[in-house]
Structure 1
């Protein structure tokens, strides 16, 4: 499906956006141990000050010293004074945005369901006050965050844009400058809704994104689908994107914070006893992702014990899902092996990324309104475009 030009507004106005800061590379500072996000007030203020002085991100006086930033405590978090972009197009559209800095600035490899619950609760709490939202994240688990938010905010009528940087904002060559600017444009000015990842002049579908490189500025891709939006000289988008609406987010679901989804990789020589040991060692386990060979292949000879271990797991009403470990994933339950797995209750992941499968399972097992059979059925049903129908 080809992209088409994004319709331009006939008149400009001021758009309101909330930016949630969680840390990550974009907010990192130099330390004796290398770059890392810091929680000291001085470092947080410096991050805000850099943005406030950037001519494309703020129309504030670049000569202002911002020495005494009147930040406000909101619970344990910190809200910084609003900033306004210069005009972003010939019609005079601008974005007024506030940065709400979470209490714990973290490397995203430390992100947990508890942190996703905090982010989701803040988005819910502020939903009616803004036209859109930006979540600043470290890149290592950014695709997990965007996938989780996709399910928690399915069919909501506003944009939630997740972004970050490969190079810290404090560095001259940082890609964070345009990632943040374009995220503000997407969440503030463009007519679309949904959870997306804005990175390197593209917006990717949140529950299809995966990190593909720790080095390239083009760090994310959606292997199975085209980018939603391309921010080139002309901004173009897929013609079937969901438009903004008054649709509220669904009721807030609190993700289980105890580990509930186990991820296991299949490799030559793995045995059922190894799988069973991993599963049994996690008492709170409610779902298992098996990253298998090719189109969902794994050893099933009786002596390996793998099939028996998976069957026993399903009988304990633990969801078992098989995804492909290939870069472009797809599970075809067409071979005899696939049919055999289905017969014991193992579910195909179709063309879901690992991140999307993890997020969807975390969402499903946290819903007390669903039975085990409901969860099995819902996992195989496209909810937010995570599966190619």
Structure 2
């Protein structure tokens, strides 16, 4: 893409989180205000000095916003040159009506984010979701399924340190996100963090302290932004296309997917008590030992409880508690579980398993059998079989 071609226009959707947090009497909080925009407008790596006259536009200059429904759109910005070809990018920040800590993220917020991307699809060349880090990988995973095969980039990013604080990593994460969405021939959902582009349905948050907060334990990063930009040769980037997003699937907002961690002493009655407490439950993630091992001896009652869940047409999926997971029905125990309809999660991360199940149970046109079959089918590169 040369500098003579039209600049790509990117929509940045602000949801709050650490990256947008400002000091308050109660500590740092992601309250919605235009200070976040002012910081970005004033940063030389994110706003071209030729876009604003620095003698007339300062941090404290007025900000003229536009109300879009309950959300706020800020004035368009233009980056400096982002690459050796002189490419710059235009972008707009669209702030959700309520900023939140990402630990408060629910399927309701995912519906809002997905709807905004969907309805603005034809207006922009790419999208950046500015998110808190706690549930950032979950957001990237669900967007991967909701925007399956769509021909534009959707990047999810955030920060470990707010832009309002010294040493914030948010500046570079935003810059790299604009680089990906504005200059690369890339389509799909990814996470940009700590100089890497990661696959959106493969990531997990592995550290609350390191700048490299996110990893994809089972696959390499798609791109490493070092002195030299390097790409994963085994998995070339999916090029942009004119493919529109699939019809929007409204996610169920009632509790529909439960997650249960297996521990020593787990019994079938303990499993069933958790399921019975949630009448709207349609799927269960069982985080098991090692390669998917469970206490399925007759005394524990676990196997009988799992069988009852499947008979109620509740999707039951077994993933591994290990940091580098792999659940495969190779041994006797795994085949026993498979025989009663319990599904192996292979190398799915918990975030992707959770997102995929919500995506499946939110589709009323699918039968229980079809949901089972589709769960075991790699859809967005979320797992290897």
TM-score (norm 2): 0.96
Q: Is residue 177 of structure 2 the alignment partner of residue 183 of structure 1? A: yes
Unaligned runs of 5+ in 1: 1-7
- By how many angstroms is 1:233 displaced? 1.7
Indicate the residue corresponding to 1:29 in structure 2.
Answer: 22
Aligned match of 1:202? 196
The unaligned stretches of length 5 or more in structure 2 are none
Give 1:29 shift. Answer: 1.1
| 2:328 corresponds to which of 318, 326, 332 | 332
Q: Which among 300, 306, 309 is matched to residue 305 of structure 2?
A: 309
Match of 1:232 in 2: 226
Secondary structure of 1:323's match?
Answer: strand
Q: Find out whether 1:384 has 2:377 as its counterpart.
A: no
Q: Is the 8 A contact 1:12 1:91 kept in 2?
A: no
Q: Does 1:19 align with 2:15?
A: no
Post-superposition Cα deviations, 1:26-75, rounded to whole Å, max 9, x if no partner, equal 00012233221113xxxx21110000000010123445234321101100
1:263-282 equivalences in 2 (<5 Å): 263-282=259-278
Number of residues paired by the alignment? 378
Match of 2:340 among 341, 344, 347: 344
Corresponding residue number in structure 2 for 1:322: 318
Other structure's SS at 2:46 match: coil
The yes-or-no answer on 1:256 pairing with 2:252 is yes
Matched, 1:48 2:42: no
Does structure 1 retain, via aligned residues, the 8 Å contact 2:2–2:86?
no
Tell me, what secondary structure is at the counterpart of 1:284? coil
Q: Deviations over 1:349-369 (max 9, x none)?
A: 000000000000000000011
Any idea what the Cα deviations from partners look like across 1:323-364, whole Å, max 9, x if unmatched? Answer: 001000110211111000001000000000000000000000
Residue 31 of structure 2, aligned match among 28, 31, 38 = 38
Q: Is the 8 A contact 2:3 2:86 kept in 1?
A: no
Does the CA contact (< 8 Å) of 1:116 and 1:145 recur in 2?
yes
Q: Does 1:160 align with 2:149?
A: no
1:138 to 132, 135, 149: 132
Equivalent pair of 2:125/2:152 in contact (CA under 8 Å): yes
Tell me the residue number matched to 2:46: 57
Name which of structure 1's ranges 257-266 and 8-17 shifts more when overlaid on structure 2. 8-17
Instruction: Name the structure 2 match of 1:5.
Output: none
What's 2:356 paired with? 360
Distance 1:382 1:226 in 2: 17
- Contact 2:318/2:344, CA 8 A, preserved across alignment: yes
Indicate conservation of the 8 Å contact 1:13/1:93, yes or no: no
Distance 2:162 2:54 in 1: 20
Alignment partners' CA distance in 2, 1:167 and 1:319: 38
The Cα of 1:284 is off from its aligned counterpart by 0.5
> 97-106 or 239-248, which moves further after superposition?
239-248
1:4 maps to none
Residues 325 and 93 of structure 1: CA distance in aligned 2, closer, same or farther (over 3 Å)? same
Q: Is the 8 A contact 1:12 1:92 kept in 2?
A: no
Q: Which stretch of structure 1 is more off in the superposition, 19-28 or 90-99?
A: 90-99
2:242 pairs with one of 246, 269, 272: 246
> Which one of the candidate residues 63, 68, 80 is aligned to 1:69?
63
Instruction: Give the match's secondary structure for 1:250.
Output: coil
- 1:193-239 Cα shifts (integer Å, max 9, x gaps): 11000000000000001000000000000000000111112222224
| Counterparts in 2 of 1:11 and 1:330: CA distance versus 1, 3 Å | farther
Q: Does 1:82 find its partner at 2:71?
A: no
For 2:259, what is the secondary structure of its paired residue? strand
TM-score (norm 1): 0.95
